[in-house]
Amino acid sequence: MTTKYYIGTAGWSYKDWVPNFYPKNQSGGFDWLQFYSHYFNCVEVNSTYYTYISPKIVEGWIKKVDNADDFIFQIKLHQDFTHKRKFDEQNIKAVRYNLDLLRKAERLGGLLIQFPYSFAFDGSSVQHIQKIRDIFSDVSCFVEVRHSSWRNNRALEFFKQNDLTLCTIDQPQIGQTIPFEPIITNDKAYIRFHGRNVEAWKKSLSNFGKEQTYEEQSSRYSYLYSPGELVEIAQKIKSIESKVKEVNVIMNNHPKGDAVANAFELIHLLEEKTKVEMPETIVKAYPRLVEILVN
């Protein structure tokens, strides 16, 4: 069985990716998603967590990736379902309509259901995930929990019985954070990287609930993984390769384009591509990438 890798970033529309990834001089017809999809085969959509996206926008995404054969979208579920835990039939329809649009176009990877650190393992938490699973029973669901209380046999058995993928996450180890250790609960793996910026993460936690600028909110994700860290990460991911048919690797260390640079490096390591196609913008911003650049 050949394992399929989907490697990309969390979001693609960041102004601070210019000029480190997107060129500074852009023609009128230049499109960021189109450019992005030339180099990567998936993207995790973050905007769907904050707002209910218009179907017209989703149709636009589908058209923009027309030339990218195996490109897929992973859709992050709206915070009404995960953080606020208050949603109605209209909310469900809004999410489902867009999922169906992507599925019909064969562009849907699945649904990322991300819960906060405060969402610890107990009976009501399990019931809540079950409720969401029942609503989206025909969609691949990737569940991210951040509290180490979920690392127990009862929780893992629940994930397996409901065909849910337990996300593997890498983030600073603070408090009872779940450690970076791939655990397989079905035939897919979903691995998210939030960086290892311990100090910025602690500061962000202390400012929780306060009004923050975009830069302040993003600072905890500001982290460039070193080549040594990436080799260790790749070895861990490779160790589960034979157990799954699909591995999704998402870089969320987005400030300045660090996620893009690291995603290219993981394509090199995981897909065992001696050389990787990259735009000159990223190589200029991250000179170490020249070693894996296609000539």
pLDDT of res. 28: 86
Query: How far apart, in whole angstroms, are the C-alpha atoms of residue 58 and residue 70?
Result: 17
Question: Would you state the pLDDT for residue 273?
Answer: 81
Query: Confidence class of residue 206 from pLDDT cuts 50, 70 and 90?
Result: low
- Percent of the chain whose predicted confidence (pLDDT) is above 90: 83
pLDDT of residue 205: 66
**Residue 204 pLDDT > 90:** no
Of the pLDDT bands very low, low, confident and very high (cuts 50, 70, 90), residue 211 is low
Query: Mean pLDDT, to the nearest integer, of 34-51?
Result: 97
Q: Answer for the pair 144, 101: CB distance below 8 angstroms, yes or no.
A: no
SS3 262: helix
pLDDT at residue 203 is higher than 80: no
| SS3 state at 171 | coil
Segment 98-157, tens digit of pLDDT: 999 999 999 999 999 999 888 999 999 999 999 999 999 999 999 999 999 999 999 999
Give 247's strand partners: 5, 189
List, as one string, the DSSP characters of 82-105.
Answer: HTS----HHHHHHHHHHHHHHHHT
Compute the mean pLDDT over every residue in the chain, rounded to the nearest whole number: 93
pLDDT at 174: 80
At 28-39, the pLDDT tens digits run 889 999 999 999
